[in-house]
Amino acid sequence: MKPLPWLVLLLFLGLNQQIVVTGTGDQFIYSGFTDTNLVLDGAAMVTAHGVLDLTNGSVRLKGHAIHPAPLRFHKFSSNSSTLQSFSVSFVFGIISPHPSNGFTFFISPSKNFSGALPTQYMGLLSDQNNGMATNHIFAIELDTIQNSEFQDMNDNHVGVDINSLHSVQSDSAGFYDDKHGTFNNLTLVSGDPMQVWVDYDQEATQINVTMAPLNLAKPARVLISTKHDLSTVLTESAYAGFSSAAGKANARHYVLGWSFAVDSPAPAIDIARLPKMPRLGGSKDLSKFLEIILPIAAAAAGALILVVFLLVRRHLRYAELREDWEVEFGPHRFSYKDLFLATQGFKDKYLLGSGGFGRVYKGLLPVSATEIAVKRVWHDSNQGMKEFITEVVSIGRLQHRNLVPLTGYCRRNSELLLVYEFMLNGSLDRYLFSEEGKPTLSWAQRFGIIKDIASALCYLHEECEKVVIHRDIKASNVLLDDEMNGRLGDFGLARLYDHGVDPQTTHLVGTIGYLAPELASTGKASPLTDVFSFGVFFLEVTCGQRPIRPNEEENQIMLVDWVLQHWQKGSPSDTVDGRLHGNYVDQEACLVLKLGLICSHPSMDARPSMRQVMQYLNGDMPLPELMIPAHMSFQTLALMQNEGFDPYVRSSYPSSMVSYGASPLTRHGYFPLENEIELGPQPGRGLHCHLICTQRTVGFMNK
């Protein structure tokens, strides 16, 4: 059987990178050296990628790689043996940072090279046996150093060696190209893979050596052709292999593929199946490369991912919402980033208070070093936003010394941030209702604050371009500046939640205890609903009490009714805040109490306008009489006023579900009060009766 079909079959099956076939005429082919049983000694090794590395980068260390089975070079006839022709090809590459020796392909009777010397002897021979016919060695040297001892022609040559490293014939490495027949130098130490063909023709006793770069076919013109009868040189059976022993560190002699045949041309090496030439100085350097470069690359990739992550996070963190119509408010627009930095990321530490429509944080603007208060208002729709910003944020218009100056705003998704001037003394309710020994306000301060807020409200209702209804007047919305002047805050904010078109869907906004009864039934805010709240505020400031508080029997006492009772009994002074210890002007206190009752009258028509309130306060006009039938409370009046009062509603109404209109938190009309401190039925407060008895008429109850 011919060996070639087997070879083809094995190639076809692709069983291995390396295919060794021994047939009648000995032959083999290695395409890479993975899993081969080459005899290796010294420095020789096969890399992980299947490349035969003869030197492993070490110095003066011999390395041999030998085909394990001896090859029969002679053919026996009846009474004699004759040497047969043979053919070899191999693909190699040399890397040599410093001038160093090359390597050889050899045919030798022995695998034992223990006596050979390194460097110029290339691990093949020694000074003891060089040139001796008993060596029976034939070799092709690929030498990269010029050694005068062996009369080397140059440091880049190919030589035919017979028993000696003094070549019988040598030539500069290179090839004649097939087209023009011109000679092309090849640099052995270039690191480029090259192929060598060695053909011995026994009949002609001719040794031909040809070489070419890996990507070229075997050139037609040989590089070396020399006549030598090898019959007496080669023993009947001999080993084929490679030897080397580099004289300098990091010189690499790689063999990628190898084929051999006796009595036929060497099988062609399929260069596509060869392992890649280790380009970067061998596996050792490669691993060093990986050791150094890989962590750097990994770190760089990690850093890149981190940077992208941070950029994305930063982008999300500081993302804002801007619309075309806002352009004109540009000067009042703050960047979210500035506000984020000013409040150190809205840290709880900087929380001034929460309630009304959101949380308020203290901040310090980095550039101007101005103190600000930032109110974060959650808002889930754009409805009302434009109106609000047009009315309130285009702040130039709303300037009054008793309004908390709004300096700007910022919008994000579902969030509106309002930037106010920081009020040094905080909100009024903390002075009025604080149990822990905060200094209470003197009567003069209280009266001043009442006048301040009246003046601010008068401005909003009657003096600025457009009527602005505050909708949420109460002690906690009154702030005190550094001179203890009252400043009204949160003006117009309620508008955000007031889309008031259809009374059925109208959203009540405000705070329980301050809501005018008609607001609950009609849902329409008006300056007079503000006046109602303002009246309650009067009483709060004078009495130092919250608008609703429980009494001993767990009933809720309305501050208005409590004051009214005393008024009707002729002892209004009994309601004045005990913490004043009688240090107040009786006349002024009575004025404020009576005015408070008039303002909080359940009937809209009985309430004065803010301009009139100002006149009464300033004593420019005498107070009218209080139009309340004797022994009737406001509460009763309000109930009578709004028909459809169901006494069971009050007791069965879940206190945590007090309908407060579609809030930012709920869309279907219920407001979880726990979330809004100012609105909640807390100890000392409770639900305003006016609101409760009118739930049904406003259509909030899902009965």
Catalytic positions, written as ranges: 472
Closest separation in Å from C-beta 251 to ligand NAG? 11
Closest separation in Å from C-beta 9 to ligand NAG? 28
CA distance 152 to 157: 8
Nearer to ligand NAG, 266 or 377 (CB): 266
**What's the DSSP call for residue 261?**
E
Nearer to ligand NAG, 172 or 425 (CB): 172
Nearer to ligand NAG, 252 or 607 (CB): 252
Q: Is residue 617 within 8 Å of residue 608, measured between CB atoms?
A: no
Among candidate residues 581, 558, 534, the one with its CA nearest the CA of residue 440: 581
Closest separation in Å from C-beta 44 to ligand NAG? 8
Torsion of Cα atoms, 583 then 586 then 590 then 591, to 10°: -100
Closest separation in Å from C-beta 208 to ligand NAG? 4
Closest separation in Å from C-beta 35 to ligand NAG? 19
Among candidate residues 144, 152, 41, the one with its CA nearest the CA of residue 93: 144
Return the H-helix or E-strand segment holding 284: helix 282-317
What end-to-end distance do the CA atoms of the chain give, in Å?
101
- Is 284 annotated in a binding site? The answer is no
Closest separation in Å from C-beta 85 to ligand NAG? 7
How much of the chain is in helix, strand and coil states, percent to nearest 5? 30, 20, 45
Among candidate residues 106, 118, 117, the one with its CA nearest the CA of residue 58: 118
CA distance 654 to 640: 23
**What's the DSSP call for residue 98?**
S
Nearer to ligand NAG, 21 or 186 (CB): 186
Query: 573: which residues sit within 8 A by CB, 6+ positions away?
Result: 586, 589, 590
Among candidate residues 39, 54, 53, 46, the one with its CA nearest the CA of residue 245: 54
Q: Give buried/exposed letters for 433-460 (b at 16+ CB in 10 A, else e).
A: eeeeeeebbebebbbbbbbbbbbbbbbb
Return the H-helix or E-strand segment holding 558: strand 556-558
Query: What is the contact surface with ligand NAG in residues (CB under 6 A)?
Result: 43, 56-58, 61, 78-79, 112, 114-115, 154, 172, 183, 185, 199, 201, 206, 208, 222, 225
Residues belonging to the binding site are: 375
